[in-house]
Amino acid sequence: MAFTTALSKNLLLLLNFLAFVSISTGKASPIPAATGLSYIVPPPAPNGGKQWGAALSIAEDLINQLTLQEKVSLVTGQEGICTAQTGNITRLGIPKMCYSDGPAGPRPGNTQWPSGVTTAATWDTELMYARSYSMGQDFYNLGYHVAMGMVTGGPLGRSPRGGRNWEGWYADPYATGIASWHGVRGLRDSGVQALSKHWIAYEQETFRNPYNFTEPYSIYNASEQVPISSNLDDKTTHELYMWSFAEAIRAGVTHIMCAYNAVNGTHSCANSESNNRLLKTELNFQGALISDWGATWGTEAFVQGGLDVNLPGLGFGGILGPFYDQELVQMVQNGTISESRLNEMVSRMLTPWIATGQRDKPLPPTATKAAESEPVHVDGQLRSAVEIARKISADGTIMLKNTGSLPLRNPRNIAVIGQDAGPSPLGIHGCGALFRNCDILQNNGTLSLGGGSGYAWANNLITPLQAIQSKALESNSFVQWVLDNNASSIILQTLAGQNGLAVENPDVCLVFADRYQRENMDRNDLNLNIGNWTRSEDIILETAANCNNTIVVLHVGGPVIMEAWIDNPNVTAVLAPLFPGEQTGPGLVDILWVGKKETDYPPHTISAPHTVTPQANFTEKLKIDYRWFDTYNITPRFGEPSLTNTSADHNIGINLDTYPDAHGIQETNEQFDGQTEGQSIYDVVATISAKVTNTGEWIASEVAQLYVEFPAVEEEPPKVLRGFQKVKNLHPRASQTASFPIRRKDIRVWDVALQKWRLPQAGNITFHVGASSRNLPLFVATAIHTQEQTLRLSFHKADRLVITADDETFDQEFLRDCEIEGFETIYLPFQEDSKRYAYQLNRIKESLSVSESYGVIDHYLQLPNNNKLCALIAYYPAKIPHPEAKFPESIHVVVHFARQNVDVDYGPRGMRRRHLIERRRINTGLGTGNRLSLGYLAYAYPNAEVGFAEYALGHYDRTSADLAWSRTLKALQAGFRKEPDLEKVWEDVQDARYFSSDPFDYVARYQEEKTPSTFYAPSLQGVSSSEELRHFYETVFGREKLPSMNIRLLSRTIGADRVVDELYMSFIHSQSMDWILPGVPPTNRQVDVILISIVSLRGGKLYSEHVHWNQASVLTQVGLLNPELVPSQFESVKDSLFRGKEAAMTILNGPG
């Protein structure tokens, strides 16, 4: 896994060096010597900010009592047992300030917590807070004043190969900012000071070059080559790399660590522009800026450049340089550095110590074993640290694929393959104290975390194999394992059931693969295998080739290439717990046996192979991760939510109430356009809400995400994340509203000329709600003006419909009918390969978010895995299930039978359980609708042959096809929870027809994608096509409307695609009305008549209309038909002609 043997080390160093030439500037050229740097922006004096003013005053009183040497000892690291510590002033009650790693917990501590990236994958801010709070208690109980545990966007994840990406959160500034805010609050609430790192634009390990220290990639001797420079522009700095640090500052972070790299040619820790102007002035940071270990290369330039504390200073024998300490004493004494600057440095150290309450309530003495932390409320329950870690491990496991094999259903024979499933034969310290000395050729056991300063020791590491064995005891399942990746022959024997232990092949094969990551070294590629040694991918391929139910488990810290096996149908599920901490086994078992009942959202995008990802000199600017893929329209392998066990429905809304920022512990000085006294860029100016409804059959959770789309002129990525909320534990049919507060900053861009945040210059801002930047069914289009008002609302939601038949192609008219109704239609041929069909259908389902469902129209009436299936429509199936069979209530089923025979499957019978199948003739059904008496909704069409609904076939029958379509559409609308307002559409049509003088206004409301028609049956007036309709309504219907015309609706029946009206119409025949009385000149007679209008609509527009009335009565009322001419023996006919008007009035007013 790691790099200690001579052969593997040298080769990998070469590979890594070559790979990361492109990540750097193309060459590792030196930047100016540290002592020769200029410092243009002077360090600002602290003022305590929003809440630390009183603490600052106390700190200044203490500083006035300190000697010069004492002051310097407080800003220079000293020898001691902590990761770093400063001097202590016993006479004033100032303790040594003890600093400790790290982001997965202290060393030593009670818990090895899941990594930042695994925690991020939960998308659960409550868990983020609980993890930090519980972790913070360990820091506190161990006597550690400062928890160096918050990786706040350094690295952010610019390169997927970054060696330390796993320590942080998301490859997105907004999401990382939210996670950092909750993380800092958790640490602060536990009583410790919180440190965020690494400021700023720290995005690679290669060529980071600490002072006087060689790294695995080093070519030059120690200190001969200075760190790589991260070169980026002002807009990128503000919108990407400062964003998350601003959130940490608002949450009250006490320390920020500057990074190894240079920024635009100047050491990060000595860069007065980024430290003094951006961090301490613009973001108003009131705490201490400390160095990373070996990031200090001098004294004067770093003091003036904004570095307050040099760590570890004299620690570790002073190996990382002689800076600060006596050099700083001498510079203050000779006036090179003012003592006021030194006082500011000390005050930034002491003020947070006082503000966090550590002065009034001193921490316990530094210890090596902490007391147990107190339980924390999560989801309304008190949970211990171990329970929280287990829940994060489970909830942070990403389900990248599941064709139905999960959850496991009591398998009798389980094979566990791969050394990543078990313990290291060398114990938990086999890779060294910081887990970065793993021998690539040895079995290093399960990978629960990456290596380096972010590593935490496991107090009780429970491996996946241990947890699987424990779970298997409940069902007395047989568990066998091979924990040697190189034991190919034993692996094959185990999978084939030829090892003499198992009677049959395994029911399920769990194969574990990892890719080691660590501080000090970036990955040279995104493969699972490291060169030809680790065989992580090889064992996946070997297992999948010999086991048709292979479940892959990936312990990785970032994206890996999976193309060689991800589409293999024998790979039935893929889980990525990432780096899940010491509860890796129990958390995994919770997913394997209980199942994943929520949408999975990777915290980073996983590309397909050969996809170009941003690797260069920050020239990609804002376009990292999903922003890059979206900008260049590259389809990622993963990056959207994966398979889930539920579906949901979103309804969107907006609230324009504004309220001030109530969450900031500290305030930034970020300026914005139109700002007035007392306003903050974090004030909320609107709230977007989305109603989430669980339409599945299981209790489920969903992460709703909000993205902002800026006008193209602003040169932003296509969409940027500006909100997320996890809606948890929704019961079937239950709903909950996800709310996204929109702050001023969320709808602004950074203006490099104005040097402030401003609203877009032109166009709309659009808020999108959905599952990912690629899956946003709802949006709010917003015209933003100076007052941030005038919002207008629009809606859109796509629903996926899979059409299945035997042939390579399908009837295009039928497909177009589906698309016209707004369905995202996919044709998937069956072609007698059921396994491949199931696999392809599953791929379609995997692309759905929890907010989407799908329907199937086929000729088979076969129920696929019903996860997310909301409708199943079958046309003339050749085989059907038992007539009394029942389908799940969540699936809307309709079957259409032609005049045909079918095979009826009555299910297994007899001792041999063979299916009883009988050939039956479909008879006519009940009434004129021919509904059949089956356990599911079914209709017979006795006058139609098989193929009646397909335009291209010789048996197309329009009457049967239209009737079947109405029934199909009704089921689809119910399944997809679509409620088209056909009445509103029809009212608009009626208004345009009877009361508008412009015929084009009416005709424009007809469906143009199909051939529209109208037919007035009694007068035989009718046309089809848009052009004929325009002529008809301009000439036959006439431009001038009768002033005496009165139309009254008597009744209305609305179906899925039809509206049937019963209308009372009266008028004086004062002008020609060719549609009802063709060729008849005005008679000036009163006419009263009942009309029946039958309207068909497609895609929200009029498709056809048939109108009927009693024409004999009309002709009588205008004097063209004389009832007296009717022979006397037909008196009833004569009476009906005389009383046609009376009949109309009777229907209008009722009998009697």
Q: Which residues are catalytic?
A: 292
Task: State the Cα–Cα distance between residues 441 and 534, nearest whole angstrom.
Answer: 7
Task: State the Cα–Cα distance between residues 46 and 52, nearest whole angstrom.
Answer: 10
Task: Give the other-Cβ count within 10 Å of 651's Cβ.
Answer: 16
Q: Among candidates 508, 319, 535, 519, which has minimal Cα distance to 435?
A: 519
- Three-class SS of residue 901? strand
State residue 157 phi and psi, 5-degree precision: 115, 30
Task: State the Cα–Cα distance between residues 1147 and 1144, nearest whole angstrom.
Answer: 5
Q: Among candidates 1032, 1064, 1033, which has minimal Cα distance to 1049?
A: 1064
Task: State the Cα–Cα distance between residues 394 and 584, nearest whole angstrom.
Answer: 8
Strands 1021-1024 vs 229-230: parallel, antiparallel or unpaired: unpaired
First to last CA, the chain: 94
- Asked if 780 and 723 touch (Cβ cutoff 8 Å), the reply is no
Tokens standing for 823? 């369905």
**Beta pairing partners, 85:** 78, 98
Q: Among candidates 723, 689, 712, 718, which has minimal Cα distance to 764?
A: 712
Element (H, E) at 1060: strand 1058-1068
Sheet holding 869-875, edge to edge: 823-827, 799-803, 854-858, 869-875, 892-897, 938-940
Q: Among candidates 247, 241, 236, which has minimal Cα distance to 177?
A: 247
Tokens standing for 367? 């210890």
Task: Give the other-Cβ count within 10 Å of 816's Cβ.
Answer: 16
**Beta pairing partners, 512:** 553
- Three-class SS of residue 701? strand
**DSSP 8-state code for residue 921:** E
Q: Which burial class, exposed, middle or buried, applies to 1002 when counting CB atoms under 10 A from its CB (0-12, 13-18, 19+)?
A: buried
Residues 6+ apart with CB under 8 A from 320: 210, 211, 212, 213, 293, 294, 296, 312
Q: Among candidates 415, 397, 394, which has minimal Cα distance to 549?
A: 415
Q: What share of the chain is helix, strand, coil (3-state, %, to 5)?
A: 30, 25, 50
Tokens standing for 63? 């500083």
In 375-482, DSSP assigns E strands to 376-378, 381-383, 398-402, 413-417, 478-482
**Beta pairing partners, 756:** 751
Task: State the Cα–Cα distance between residues 1073 and 1091, nearest whole angstrom.
Answer: 15
Tokens standing for 779? 């949006």
Task: State the Cα–Cα distance between residues 1125 and 1104, nearest whole angstrom.
Answer: 38
Element (H, E) at 916: strand 914-921
Element (H, E) at 918: strand 914-921
Task: State the Cα–Cα distance between residues 111 and 459, nearest whole angstrom.
Answer: 6
Q: Among candidates 533, 489, 539, which has minimal Cα distance to 510?
A: 539
- Asked if 176 and 394 touch (Cβ cutoff 8 Å), the reply is no
